[in-house]
Structure 1
């Protein structure tokens, strides 16, 4: 699966959020190595987020459990086994605490939003998959302000060796609804999955939204970030990125290494 560029309609900001891509292209070819983030464009500075829609309400789960599917894909970036796929709960939340080199980042994962995603993330955390792994991409322009993590290889193409389908907010729309192509605001504090734009390409890469960001509703929202965690990410963002990724952003100038990811 090739990485897919997404043009935020009417904004002129080319953005890329790739998950477990099957392409050998890391998407990180250098476009410059500035010591700070690239200057924000005039278009980004004038971006009016009120022009964009909001995320739809989370659908009420139709059953207390669901069955998920985690088919095998390319070899994993770090040895791990796929989670159990049957009888996955759709109720309640799960706390995951990331200890990072930049500071603590607390996450609250919501099973009602995305039970299969939460099930996978918790399984990976419990197996130590995220331990000693980098957050490989930071974007700082208004309209896309996220820190992306979850690839043990650190190049942006690694995954857990399996994939799965996108959940909320995509599942809140009818199939082929034109609204799926219309950008909406992913609010500050959102935790969402990265993907390559192809069906079943969710894996282990996720992004932390530290300021309201504009994306089509094709990236699974599965939780929220603590205020302490947002302070950690904002501190990293203030130092900018190295501009090394052609689609925007680059490695954070302040490296972020997830030391441990603990459930509960």
Structure 2
């Protein structure tokens, strides 16, 4: 009997020992897991604090595309002659190379090269409006023929000169400074030959220059048919490549009084049947030479009527 009790006690003791071993093993594993997770948490916390210290969680500005052209709205309510034609995109337009513009007048075609490098906004606006048919069947409203200002103005569907598309932008490509006079010469005849005429020396807008009208430059543009010295700050957008004689014939026909009594309305109706703008190849480093105008060979250093350059009038 005693031996049986002793055996039971030994079995119970062994069972308790096994339970203690398992419990100790579980506690050991629990401590190991806590140590591992504690280490990982510490690493994560250090990383988060480091990133926070470096500004990783600071509010980030929203990425935006830089504006190339900021179109300023004009007061349509205050000027009934303005036409809401929407606005071109503020970015994404070509900013290099050239575009070809064809103005189909009722008296002939005028073809021009638009300079997208020097005047990206002017070129973009003309293309935007041309693509929408804005210019189709509109009249050119003004023909200036005063000394120093020889231009045909178009692009106002109202025909008043105070209308057009209801937006504008800054003067982006103003004319070059006045051309300097020729250097002094000890040879009187050479000096006389080298001295340009006043018109040639001070022309800001050579014949064939196409420019946008300030303040109403959303759609209004002018074509200079003779070299001009006007102080009006036009945005030069391009130059005529063919058809300038069409504008010259319009000028030769003369003007008549407009509704305001000004002698600036073309005597013959000048209608823009269509106006189109298409992209061309990038601008060539060497532009075609201007037509020679002097009847006699000019002396070295002689100044002639300046031609729109790639940076100013092309």
Give the TM-score range, shorter chain: 0.5 to 0.7
**The one of 82, 93, 112 aligned to 2:117:** 112
Partner in structure 2 of residue 237 of structure 1: 251
Tell me, in whole angstroms, the C-alpha distance in 1 between the residues paired with 2:154 and 2:133.
14
Q: TM-score scaled by structure 2?
A: 0.54
SS at match of 1:234: helix
Deviates more, 1:156-165 or 1:76-85: 76-85
Q: Does 1:261 align with 2:280?
A: no
Q: Which one has a bigger Cα radius of gyration?
A: 2
Match of 1:80 among 75, 78, 85: 85
How much does 1:79 deviate? 4.5
Deviation of 1:247 (Å) = 9.5
Q: Structure 1: state its 5+ residue gaps.
A: 1-64, 174-182
Q: Is the 8 A contact 1:99 1:261 kept in 2?
A: yes
How many residue pairs align between the two structures? 185
CA distance in 2, matches of 1:70, 1:139: 28
CA offset digits 1:17-67 (Å, max 9, x no partner): xxxxxxxxxxxxxxxxxxxxxxxxxxxxxxxxxxxxxxxxxxxxxxxx961
Instruction: Give unpaired runs (5+ residues) of structure 2.
Output: 1-65, 178-201, 279-314
Q: Does 1:148 align with 2:153?
A: yes
- Across the aligned residues of Structure 1 and Structure 2, the Cα RMSD in angstroms comes to 2.3
Match of residue 223, structure 1, among 238, 241, 245: 238
Q: 1:142 to 1:247 in 2, by over 3 A?
A: farther
Shift of 1:248: 6.0
Q: Give the secondary-structure state (helix, strand or coil) at the position aligned to 1:140.
A: strand
After superposition, the Cα gap between the structure-2 partners of 1:147 and 1:111, relative to the gap in structure 1 and judged at 3 Å, is same
SS in 2 for 1:233: helix
- Label 1:245 to 1:107 Cα distance change in 2 as closer, same or farther (>3 A): farther
RCO higher in structure (CA 8 A, sep ≥6): 1
Alpha-carbon deviation of 1:227? 2.9
- Alignment partner for residue 135 of structure 1, among 140, 163, 166? 140
Q: Secondary structure at the match of 1:125?
A: helix
Instruction: State the TM-score, normalized to the length of structure 1.
Output: 0.64
Residues 240, 100 of structure 1: CA spacing in aligned structure 2 closer, same or farther, 3 A cutoff? Answer: same
SS class of match (1:186): coil
1:107-137 CA deviation, whole Å, 9 max, x = no partner? 2111112111111111011111111111000
Give the match for residue 188 of structure 1.
207
Deviating more after overlay: 151-160 vs 133-142: 133-142
